Structures are given as structure tokens and as C-alpha cells.
């Protein structure tokens, strides 16, 4: 599997590097994912979380924008699998196997949040990642009983691309989408009100974007090491220190993903309740915090190692630095770290804790 993932990462990287413009939807990268068999049948079943996180990391190692959109597609399939009717699961998984892509959009337009008024949608969504390549998106709508999920077809919807001028992650195409006037069909409603934000799965899902981040910092390490080798500086003692610190940080990221996978699978076995659920939430918060810190350290080491050459396009580090620094800015990092600390203070999570039944991290 490692060799297949390495090949997938390299293929996606080549596709991103050959794109005509940096802000184009990464269609060639998704063609590689389709050939890999990841679009319709990603490893989302019981006990498969470790494989899923490694897959997400492999995609992120190839291209972070492709990884961001693919993580949303995987999230949509997980929500469909968890909350869909038999008909919805059959129909939408068949579409995914046919190469159609899905997203999950929760962030509302500040001035016009998405809402249902008399059975008709009004307002829209912001940060609608991947809209230029998606067929459907799960969008959330606030209701008195809880946020509703709707699986909405996207053909013909107005898209405002004018605001999306980010430092990095341009190919993720996180635009504004207007849903005003759309009348939802009964078959679009997914799950019960409030299901989208049900814990520990909502907060625990942070381990998926953390996995893409790990892939991104692995790519930074790859590029910096390759540069040092090509320029004959890899064995310089100071550069060797930088290589070691980067490699250790990347390996630390993968170790956190392995621990997060164990926590997710244990929470699944426990039905999302009790101590395993609390440990998943704490582990997810710790994982995203640890991965962010590790990624920032790799970025700084790589920038120092390569020097000014790495900030000049078309050097691959130039785009990687912008993409990873942008993608790391996930919402509420301070709250995540605080929650992890509170879980440790309350004894819900502690370093080195192992499940006495398996000897694995708990």
C-alpha cells in the first residue's frame, strides 16, 4: 500500500504542476484518484480509519488543494453512510463510483446565511470548496430542531468567484454559492435535525484535515531534501540537523494520525458514547494542535534550508509554503487546544495511556 500511495502522491503532484493555471480545479488529480479507486470506495468502514488517514495524507502530499476537496468528498460519503436511507446510500455511492464528486459546506454567507423560508431556500454558502468540479454538496440549514443537511445538486447555481484571492490553496476554489429560489426535493434531506453536529463525530472529524496537513508537510520535507541533495548541501552538518528535525516532525505527524485512528475506531465500537467518545474528541483536538505545530516547524526549517531560491516560482517550495500556511488556518485553534487541556485536567485523556485490552493507545 505504501508504494501505491507513493505513486499516487507523485501522480497528483505532477498533475498539479502541469495545470495551466494555479487556480484551476484540479481535474487531473481527481482523474488519478478515480483510477486509484478512491472516489466511490474510500476506506470509511469500521476499523479502516488508519487506512483512510494515510490515504488523505498521500493525497495532500501530492497537492493540498486536491486533498482539501477530496477530504470534503470523503466527509460527504461518511455522512451519507451514517445518516442516509438505503435509497440515498445506493444512489449517491453509485454516483461517486461513476466519478461524481461531493462536498460539505457549513459556512454561511455573513450577510445572507442559508435558510429555508416557506419551503424554499434563501441565502448562500461561503468557502464552498471545489464548487467548480462538484456534482452535489451537503449544505446545512439552521432550524429550531437543529441544523438540517440537504444534498443539493449544483448545476446552474450562481457562483461568485470574485472574492477568492487567497495567498495559497487557490485551486481549492472556495467560492460563494447562492441557493436563493431552490426548492428542496424530499429526497435531498439527509438524516435528522442536528445530526451534522453530533459529537464526537463532528469535532472528531478534524483528524481528516489534519491528515491532509501531514501530507503537506511531508511534501515540504520531500522538496527541501531534494533541493539539498541536488545542490550538494545535504551532508553539511547544519543542513543535516535541519533534515533530521524535519523528518522527525513528519514522523510525529504520522504517529498522531495513527493514534487518532485508534481513537476513532474505539469510539465507533462504543457507539459514540462514554469514555471512548470523550477520548476521541480530546485526541482529535490534540492531533490538530500537534500537527499544526509540527507543520509550522517543518515550514521554517525548509525555508531556512533552501533559502531565497525556494521563494521564487517555479520552485515547488514556493507554492507549497503558501498552500500549507493557508490550509493550516483552521477555525478556532485556541479552542481546540483549550479543550484538549481540559480533557487532560479531567482525566479523560492522558499521554501514554493504553487500552488494557489491546495495549494500543486509548
- Looking up residue 53, the CATH number of its domain turns out to be 2.40.110.10
Before 314, cis peptide (omega within 30)?
Answer: yes
**Phi/psi of residue 218, each to 5°?**
-65, -40
The verdict on 13 and 158 lying in the same domain is yes
pLDDT-based confidence at residue 49 (cuts at 50, 70, 90): very high
Residues 219 and 313 in one domain: yes
Residue 356, domain member (yes or no): no
Residues 184 and 208 in one domain: no
Please write the tens of the pLDDT for every residue from 155-189: 999 999 999 999 999 999 999 999 999 999 999 99
- Cα–Cα distance, 118 to 135 (Å, whole number): 26
- Whether residue 350 is contained in a domain is answered as no
Per DSSP bridges, beta strands 120-122 and 115-117 are antiparallel
Beta-carbon count within 10 A of 117 CB: 9
127: left (phi over 0), alpha (psi -120 to 50) or beta: left
Domain boundary among 149, 177, 196: 196
Look up cell 450562481; give the residue.
Answer: 158
Contacts by 269-277, CB closer than 8 A, 24 or more apart: 269/46, 272/198, 272/199, 272/200, 272/201, 275/348, 276/362, 277/199, 277/200
Residues 56 and 143 in one domain: yes
Whether 168 contacts 326, CB under 8 Å:
yes
Residue 21: count of CB within 10 angstroms of its CB:
7
Q: What Cα–Cα distance (Å) separates residue 119 from each residue in 65, 190, 233?
A: 35, 16, 65
pLDDT in tens, 249-287: 999 999 999 999 999 999 999 999 999 999 999 999 999
pLDDT digits (tens, 9 = 90+) for 337-351: 999 999 999 999 988
Phi, psi (5° rounding) for residue 109?
Answer: -60, 130
Same domain assignment for residues 280 and 243: yes
Let me know if residue 358 belongs to a domain: no
Cell triple for residue 127?
468557502
Torsion over CA: 329, 331, 333, 336 (sign): negative
Q: Does residue 112 lie within any of the structural domains?
A: yes
- Tell me the pLDDT band of 247, cut-offs 50, 70 and 90: very high
Full domain range(s) for residue 205: 199-345
Question: What's this model's pTM, rounded to 2 decimal places?
Answer: 0.96
Total of domains in the chain: 2
One domain for residues 188 and 205: no
Give backbone dihedrals phi and psi of 326, rounded to 5 degrees, phi first. Answer: -70, -45
Band (361; pLDDT cuts 50, 70, 90): low
Among 144, 168, 196, identify where a domain stops.
Answer: 196
Given 137, 172, 196, the domain boundary residue is: 196
Amino acid at each position: 500500500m505504501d508504494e501505491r500511495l507513493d505513486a499516487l502522491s507523485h501522480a497528483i503532484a505532477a498533475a498539479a504542476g502541469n495545470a495551466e493555471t494555479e487556480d484551476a480545479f484540479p481535474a487531473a488529480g481527481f482523474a488519478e484518484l478515480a483510477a486509484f479507486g478512491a472516489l466511490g470506495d474510500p476506506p470509511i468502514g469500521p476499523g479502516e480509519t488508519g487506512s483512510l488517514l494515510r490515504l488523505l495524507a498521500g493525497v495532500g502530499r501530492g497537492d493540498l488543494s486536491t486533498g482539501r476537496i477530496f477530504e470534503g468528498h470523503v466527509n460527504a460519503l461518511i455522512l451519507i453512510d451514517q445518516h442516509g436511507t438505503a435509497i440515498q446510500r445506493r444512489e449517491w455511492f453509485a454516483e461517486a463510483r461513476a466519478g461524481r464528486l461531493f462536498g460539505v459546506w457549513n459556512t454561511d454567507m455573513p450577510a445572507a446565511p442559508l435558510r429555508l423560508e416557506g419551503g424554499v431556500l434563501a441565502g448562500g454558502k461561503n468557502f464552498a470548496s471545489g464548487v467548480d468540479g462538484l456534482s452535489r454538496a451537503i449544505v446545512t440549514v439552521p432550524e429550531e430542531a437543529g441544523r438540517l443537511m440537504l444534498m443539493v445538486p449544483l448545476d446552474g447555481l450562481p457562483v461568485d468567484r470574485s472574492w477568492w484571492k487567497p495567498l495559497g490553496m487557490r485551486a481549492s476554489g472556495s467560492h460563494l454559492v447562492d441557493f436563493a429560489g431552490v426548492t428542496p426535493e424530499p429526497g435531498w434531506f439527509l438524516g435528522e435535525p442536528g445530526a451534522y453536529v453530533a459529537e464526537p463525530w463532528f469535532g472528531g472529524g478534524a483528524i481528516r484535515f489534519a491528515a491532509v496537513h501531514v501530507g503537506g508537510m511531508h511534501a515540504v520535507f520531500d522538496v527541501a531534501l531534494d533541493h539539498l541533495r541536488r545542490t550538494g548541501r545535504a551532508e553539511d552538518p547544519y543542513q543535516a540537523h535541519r533534515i533530521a528535525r524535519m523528518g522527525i516532525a513528519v514522523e510525529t505527524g504520522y504517529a498522531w494520525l495513527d493514534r487518532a485512528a485508534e481513537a476513532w475506531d474505539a469510539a465507533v465500537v462504543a457507539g459514540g458514547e462514554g469514555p471512548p467518545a470523550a477520548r476521541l474528541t480530546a485526541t482529535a483536538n490534540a492531533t490538530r494542535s500537534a500537527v499544526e505545530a509540527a507543520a509550522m516547524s517543518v515550514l521554517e526549517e525548509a525555508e531556512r534550508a533552501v533559502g531565497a531560491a525556494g521563494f521564487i516560482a517555479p520552485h515547488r517550495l514556493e507554492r507549497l509554503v503558501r498552500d500549507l500556511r493557508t490550509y493550516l488556518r483552521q477555525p478556532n485553534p485556541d479552542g481546540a487546544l483549550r479543550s484538549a487541556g481540559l480533557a487532560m485536567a479531567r482525566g479523560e485523556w492522558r499521554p501514554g495511556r493504553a487500552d488494557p485490552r489491546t495495549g494500543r493507545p486509548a
